[in-house]
Chains A and B, each alone.
Chain A
Amino acid sequence: MPPLDLKDGSVEAGLDALDTPVNAPEGNLLRRIAARALPPIGAIVLGIVIWQVLWAAAFWPEFKLPAPIAVWNLIWELISTGKIFELFWTSVHRAVIGFAISLLIAVPLGLAIANIQVVRRGIGPLVSGLQSLPSVAWVPAAILWFGLNDSAIYWVVLLGAVPSIANGLVSGLDQVPPILPRVGKALGAGRIGGIRHILLPAALPGFLGGLKQGWAFSWRSLMAAELIATSPDLGEGLGQYLHNGMSLSDISMVFAGILLIFVVGVGIELLVFRPLENSVLKARGLTASAR
């Protein structure tokens, strides 16, 4: 046996210092924000300029293509009268509640599909298939079953979001490296402990992808449902606002509606899901923010 020349651990300390991965310095914060924010802002400005030019050239009559300023005036009016908050509140709270209920249904469903062979074979393909069925197809059935009320809308949202979230969880769980549950077992994890402390955290990145997609699906299902199922009892959300624009043949109102729906969908993704995903990936050394 060679002598133990490690009493002071200096070789080891040297190795540690040399082997530790080094991260490149991240640079000026202001610059990074500018580099991130300028391209999309530029794209938006360019889009508005093209729109303005097309409108000024009068290729289409005014009732088909409104002036950007007319749409902006309409949006500003919504903001200044406070009506915009009512529209947002009606739609967003429905989407959030629908999303939350979807989560409660989709997580046990996903766990069952991923872990129980019979369930996977039985309803796995069904859930994947439902994901490709546009949930707006459920609107007529929902209205006939529930009538023109919130239940019908939630039903459509659920059928849009549950399959995506469940599928995201299943693919997240399927991608967990098999060594991790084995290590968990060797460390003394029981069935519940293994799911709670090993499987679920390991599946989190895939699950977050599913959540993001689930949100997108629940938002678009909600808008489809609001557009079709309009009634004074339902309160006015963004979908109804858009529908009203169509009824009034007011193209500015239609454009404003589309823009607002877009802004909310993208806003929630950017404000909630993107930071969540980035922090999860960054903690695991899978930096998406570097892209």
Chain B
Amino acid sequence: MTATVEAARATTGNAVRPVRFHQVGKAFGTGKKSVVALEGVDLAVETGEFVCLLGASGCGKTTLLNLVAGLDQPTTGRIELGSSRPAVVFQEAALMPWLTAAGNVELPLRLAGVPKAQRRAKAAELLELVRLGGLGDKRPHELSGGMRQRVALARALASTTDNTGSGAGKPSLLLMDEPFSALDAITRDVLQGELLRIWQATGTAILFVTHDVREAVRLGRRVVLLSSRPGRVVREWEVAGLAGAAEAAAVEEINAELRKVISSHAAA
């Protein structure tokens, strides 16, 4: 397990990392009433790596993603962003209800000023990638929850694979904030498989937030456990290529650690 990590690290060497945290802290409010959401977080995501951030509620997972996405600013420390603008997939698909599926995928390209013909082609290609080719004319309300989340994924990919502007040549980064937690079990299972396929097809780095250990182990190459209030990195596991008994053991071990983190709050 450790050997493969070393190998992977060695090949990337000192190349640009999509994102790197340097002792990042985030507090909401000031003075006595302030709530510390994150404290001293050190974390790096390698190019093309799939990292799962795991933690119970209140561990600042979402805050962390918001910091990377630029929707919020850290209070202390800094975030080094080597990627093109990070793409975000939220828990809800949050598609624009007045646009068709294709229109939604085109939106980030439109905001970036990509010409119409190019936009069309890119949107069609991305919808094909999430297996929604031919459904580009549908409105969000005509699609199921899983299909909507796939459109949201295609839209996020459209915003990250824009190689025309300042993002040219930089590694891409996809941020996902519990994107499948609102879906039913079968759809979730299928979409997890789809996400792995798309990750392999696009080679983008993914930072995936979840509270589901099984999901984290299945999807991630690396699982990072955060503690709650304040969020700190507790431990990391390499889970790439685990299957069968080894996978079950990893889930068991991470689960135990997560329970330990949670029960430590009962004492306090």
Contact = CB atoms under 8 A, between A and B. Distances in A.
A16 B97 contact: no
B111 A285 contact: no
A284 B143 contact: no
B256 interface: no
A276 B139 CA distance: 18
Interface string B79-101: 00000011110101010111100
Contacts of A204: 98
Contact of A180 (B88, B94, B131, B145): B94
A186 interface: yes
Interface stretch (B7-15, B119-127, B187-195, B204-212): B187-195
Given A1-B247, A21-B141, A186-B69, A284 B147 contact: no
Contacts of A15: 144, 146, 186-187, 190
Contact of B193 (A6, A13, A21, A188): A6
A20 B90 contact: no
B197 interface: yes
A185 B94 CA distance: 13
Interface in B219-253: 241-243, 247
Nearest to A16: B147
Interface string A129-173: 000000000000000000000000000000000000000000000
B110 interface: yes
A178 to B, nearest CB: 10
A189 B109 CA distance: 10
A11 interface: yes
A9 B131 contact: yes
A264 interface: no
Contacts of A2: 193, 218, 243
Nearest to B158: A187
Nearest to B165: A188
B161 interface: no
Contact of B111 (A180, A189, A280): A189
B18 interface: no
A204 B108 CA distance: 20
Contact of B194 (A12, A183, A190): A12
Nearest to A2: B218
B243 to A, nearest CB: 5
B142 A20 contact: yes
Nearest to B145: A19
Nearest to A189: B111
Interface in A248-290: 280, 283-285
Interface in B55-76: 69-71
B218 A285 contact: no
A197 interface: yes
B142 A21 contact: yes
Given A12-B194, A204-B98, 18 more contacts: A1-B196, A1-B242, A6-B193, A12-B131, A15-B144, A16-B146, A19-B145, A19-B187, A20-B142, A21-B144, A179-B92, A182-B94, A187-B87, A187-B159, A188-B112, A197-B107, A201-B99, A284-B139
Q: Give the 5 A-B CB pairs with smallest separation, nearest first.
A: A285-B141, A19-B144, A186-B88, A187-B108, A284-B97
5 contacts: A1-B196, A2-B243, A183-B88, A201-B96, A284-B97
